[in-house]
Amino acid sequence: MTKYYGGIDLGGTFIKAGLLSENGDIIHNFAFPSRVEQGIPALKESLRVVARKLVEESELRGAALAGIGVGSPGTIIFPDGIVTGATPNIPGWVGTNISGIFSDFPFPVVADNDANCMGLAEATFGAGKGTKNGFYLTLGTGVGGAMFVNGAIVRGASFCAGEFGHMVLVYNGDTCKTGRKGCLEQYVAAGALCRSAMQLAGKYPDSALSSQPGELDVVDIFDAFKRGDQAAVEAVSANADMVGVAIGSVVNLLNPEIVVIGGGMSQAGEKYIGLIRKSVFSFAFESTTSILKVEAAKFGNDAGWIGAACLNIGSRPLP
């Protein structure tokens, strides 16, 4: 009997979910409201509805559901899915046993951190397929990361690894939302790009960004960047240079064979990725870049549930 693997990506607004074949083919996927604002019991029921739907969709196709993986924000003890670290988007979530929500389902349900799931999707079936040492980062509202070393995901000693956005970029620099000084996230996340583009728009009155009504968002900025708008080009180039130096630092430390850039900002396209790549290659040692690829993520917004589904696929041994 054909086996499918269910993946669930828990977000503050939507639960994204889908079925994956053992070879990484997307069989079916859908979204369902998380109902976080109705409290934890409603959220748990949403997750169970999603799981039942995954069972039904498998049965419809004459396949068995081999297991479900859940990606959740916060610090998640793998594989049981005990939530030990908070995420501001889901109040009250700490202390939950994610696997326990599904204890009456007749297959294994395991859970991991959502950034780890994104990395796992890309490492198993995406831009990092076939590699053993990779660095997977997300650039968007926040900056996060996941790593593979010697073929295994790096979860860390207390399942907190991957806080790429809170590595130092500028010693004693600007204060980030966590109170640290000089963190990468404060300089390169979506909000930082918007602030710097607004400033530059003031300097270049001819820029399309100067006449934009209201607040700028990253989509406006990247659109203007692609058209060659001077303010946008300067802002995006400075952003890519900082991102590249930070990635280059990690490359000097970990010597991966692939760096995969995901998250909302990565969808700006190859022109942006190319600027980041150039900066990585100038900061990282030649001995490391001779074998290094820097690529955009393959799975975009689907990486979370795809990676969660991968948690149960035996082809990648779980450490």
Instruction: List residues near its own copies by CB under 8 A.
Output: 75, 84-85, 131-133, 145, 147, 149-150, 152, 154-164, 166-171, 173, 178, 180, 182, 187, 242, 245-246, 248-250, 252-257, 283, 285, 287-288, 290-292, 319
CA–CA distance, 138 with 254 (Å, rounded to integer): 18
Per residue, the 3-state secondary structure of 22-71, as one string, reads CCCCEEEEEEEECCHHHCHHHHHHHHHHHHHHHHHHHHHCCCEEEEEEEE
What is the rounded CA–CA span in Å between residue 145 and residue 114? Answer: 10
Q: Alpha-carbon distance 222 to 236, whole Å?
A: 8
8 Å CB contact between 74 and 89:
no
Q: How far apart are CA 45 and CA 47, in angstroms?
A: 5
CB of residue 188 to its own copies, shortest distance in Å: 10
Nearer to its own copies, 100 or 156 (CB): 156
* Beta carbon nearer to its own copies, 92 or 269: 92
> How far apart (Å, rounded) are the C-alpha atoms in residues 95 and 98?
9
CA distances in angstroms from 125 to 122, 128, 309, listed in the order given? 6, 7, 11
**Terminus-to-terminus CA distance in the chain, angstroms?**
28
Shortest Å, Cβ 233 to its own copies: 19
| Lateral strand order in the sheet of 152-153 | 152-153, 143-149, 134-139, 258-262, 293-296
- For its own copies, give the closer residue by CB, 27 or 168: 168
If the CB atoms of residues 6 and 142 are measured against its own copies, the closer one turns out to be 142
State which residue, 103 or 290, has the beta carbon closest to its own copies: 290
Tracing tokens 């889901």 back to the chain, one arrives at: 90
Minimum distance between the CB of residue 253 and its own copies, rounded to whole angstroms?
A: 6
Residue 15 or 123 having the CB closest to its own copies: 123
Task: State the minimum distance, in angstroms, from the CB of residue 157 to its own copies.
Answer: 4
Q: Choose between 28 and 180: whose C-beta lies nearer to its own copies.
A: 180
